[in-house]
Structure 1
Amino acid sequence: MVDIRVQVISTVSVVRASRVWNVCTVKDLRIRRLGRGDLTAARELFTMMVDIFEEGATEEDVGPLTDDYLDRLLDRDSFWAFIAFIGSDIVGGLTAHTLPMTRSSSSVVFIYDLAVRLEYQRRGVGSLLIHELRDCTAAAGIREVFVAANNEDTHALDFYRAQGAVASPVTFFTFTPR
């Protein structure tokens, strides 16, 4: 059994290769999956993501998240939210959604957001979040995880390639309501 520093809260515990833990240079870092009742941590994570990704966004732009909405979201098995934290400080996080397939009786997971505070970037935090998601989805019988990245975001492209991901030539289109 590998001595691990990451704290896992899930229904299945998994053993990970020791090489995974050697990528992180942040002392006392912990990873935890959020669930029902983790309102404060979820709100802090989602606010951090808005701050990182949507520069200049206000609460009016994003909209308030009620306790009821957050509890329903966090209670869904198909929603994956992980926080990376040191003590009580959240330094990174990941959100993802399980998508049921129609060509087979299986599912895939789509990483929606992965964010790490600037002062903790390039220190292995994002890698640990990806590894934790992949381990948990594998334990749940899900064999594929994918993420969209803007072609102009070379940092993100390089990061995902370094995690072992293979790029697919896909273009996403966005529709707005009529």
Structure 2
Amino acid sequence: METEIQILQPNNIEELNELISVFEKVFEMGSFERPGQAHLQNLLNKENFFAVIAKTENKIIAGLTFYVLDQYYSVKPLAYIYDLAVLQEYQRKGVGKKLINFTNEHCRQKGFEEVFVQADKGDQYAIDFYRSTKPTEEEQVVHFYYSSVNENDTDRR
């Protein structure tokens, strides 16, 4: 299986939509309402957002997204992997590791300080996967979330 890994460019809105469909399927996001195309195009245009895809036979089978975080402790930015998914029929074939390795190498070449990702404590599959990618460090962290959305706010477009 030949797998091509690439970073989406601003003119790749169709591929971003395909990647979001992969996320929807793998994460079982039944009630997900996708933002409008203008929002997604704006996201692709940003310098701090990256979408990395894996293609086989011209089909997107996996991908990840990451955000660039500038910091005040260092001039070197951080990369935060937000989502990573591989279609079920392609899992356990090294595709996810290829995405991680590609992203780590890209960030190393661009002078990033580090790449980091979180996995929920209850998601043992994700934890085992990330451990298999040989991270340089692992931390036990608790995240707290504060919603900024009003309960009646349904405008996500």
> Of residues 41, 44, 48 in structure 1, which corresponds to 2:18?
44
1:116 aligns with 2:83: no
Taking the TM superposition and a 5 Å limit, the aligned residue runs for 1:93-112 are 93-112=63-82
Match of 1:57 among 18, 21, 30: 30
Q: Report the CA distance between 1:79 and its aligned residue.
A: 1.1
Runs of 4 or more above 6 Å deviation: none
For residues 20-169 of structure 1, what are the structure 2 equivalents within 5 Å?
Answer: 27-53=1-27, 55-58=28-31, 61-66=32-37, 68-165=38-135, 166-169=137-140
- Partner letter of residue 57 of structure 1? G
C-alpha separation in 2, matches of 1:163 and 1:56? 26
- Alpha-carbon offset, residue 169 of structure 1: 1.6
* Amino acid of the structure 1 residue aligned with 2:85: A
Shift of 1:56: 4.8
Corresponding residue of 1:14 = none
1:98–1:56 distance in 2 versus 1, CA, 3 Å: closer
Cα distance, 1:162 vs structure 2: 1.0
Q: 1:82 to 1:127 in 2, by over 3 A?
A: same
Please give the secondary structure, in 1, of the residue aligned with 2:73: coil
Cα shift at 1:72: 2.2
Count of equivalent residues: 148
Distance (whole Å) between structure 2 residues aligned to residue 84 and residue 63 of structure 1: 21
Measured in 2, the distance between the counterparts of 1:64 and 1:100 equals 26
Amino acid at match of 2:145: T
**RMSD (Å) for aligned C-alpha atoms:** 1.4
Deviation at 1:88, TM superposition (A): 1.7
> What's the counterpart of residue 172 of structure 1?
143
Q: Deviations over 1:11-58 (max 9, x none)?
A: xxxxxxxxxxxxxxxx111111101110110001012102211x2523
TM-score by length of 1: 0.78
- The residue type paired with residue 46 of structure 1 is I
* Shift of residue 122, structure 1, vs aligned partner: 0.5
TM-score, L = length of structure 2 = 0.88
Distance of 1:118 and 1:83 partners within structure 2: 15
Which stretch shows the higher mean deviation, 153-162 or 114-123? 153-162
